[in-house]
């Protein structure tokens, strides 16, 4: 498979523009479908402790159905990394992401699954995010299941050039499919 010929910055810009064109209705209806698939998948895998995120910029909303069967923790930007907290109280944090502002913090080793957003994915599970490396640092050395969620058009038919610190996902769930990633 061909490696994407542009740099990550260019791919990031193109992917963000592509997602910005989605209507609110498109995002909502497909998020419902993806969230339902995700909840069923987590139930099938018997996952009890999961880290999710609150969406921005037309990202998939993964949390419609998952909270019924599992303990859901959320990411919080702390200096140059992400922390994990369980809370029902959120406020806008860095980059306007809703983050837990109080609650119980947990350790990465207690988490069985990470739900990860992206601007683009390849079929090997590599992703393009916003370029800060927060998720790669969080996922580094974790044995937990790593699931990317996105719209089907975000899964690209080329390989994203990975860097040595990039972490590959195990699965990608879209409104059309559950893709087991090839590494």
Instruction: Please state which architecture CATH assigns to domain 8-180.
Output: 3-Layer(aba) Sandwich (3.40)
76 is in an annotated binding site: no
133 is in an annotated binding site: yes
pTM exceeding 0.75: yes
pLDDT tens, per residue, the chain with 183 residues: 566 556 888 999 999 999 999 999 999 999 999 999 999 999 999 999 999 998 989 999 998 887 667 888 887 766 555 666 676 666 676 666 766 666 555 666 788 999 999 999 999 999 999 887 888 888 888 999 999 999 999 999 988 888 888 999 999 999 999 999 976
3-state SS assignment for residue 89: coil
150 is in an annotated binding site: no
């Amino acid at each position: 498979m061909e490696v994407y010929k542009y740099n990550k910055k260019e791919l990031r810009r193109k992917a963000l523009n592509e997602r910005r064109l989605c209507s609110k209705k498109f995002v909502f209806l497909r998020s419902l479908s993806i969230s339902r698939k995700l909840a069923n998948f987590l139930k099938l895998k018997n996952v009890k402790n999961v880290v999710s995120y609150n969406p921005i910029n037309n990202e998939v909303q993964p949390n419609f159905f998952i909270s019924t069967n599992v303990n859901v923790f959320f990411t919080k930007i702390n200096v140059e990394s992400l922390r994990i907290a369980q809370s029902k109280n959120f406020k806008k944090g860095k980059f306007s992401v809703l983050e837990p502002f109080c609650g119980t913090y947990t350790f990465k080793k207690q988490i069985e699954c990470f739900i990860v957003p992206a601007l683009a994915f390849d079929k090997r599970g590599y992703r393009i995010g916003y370029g800060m490396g927060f998720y790669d640092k969080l996922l580094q050395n974790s044995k937990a299941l790593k699931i990317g969620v996105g719209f089907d058009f975000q899964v690209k038919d080329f390989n994203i050039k990975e860097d040595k610190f990039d972490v590959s996902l195990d699965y990608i769930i879209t409104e059309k499919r559950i893709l087991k990633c090839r590494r």
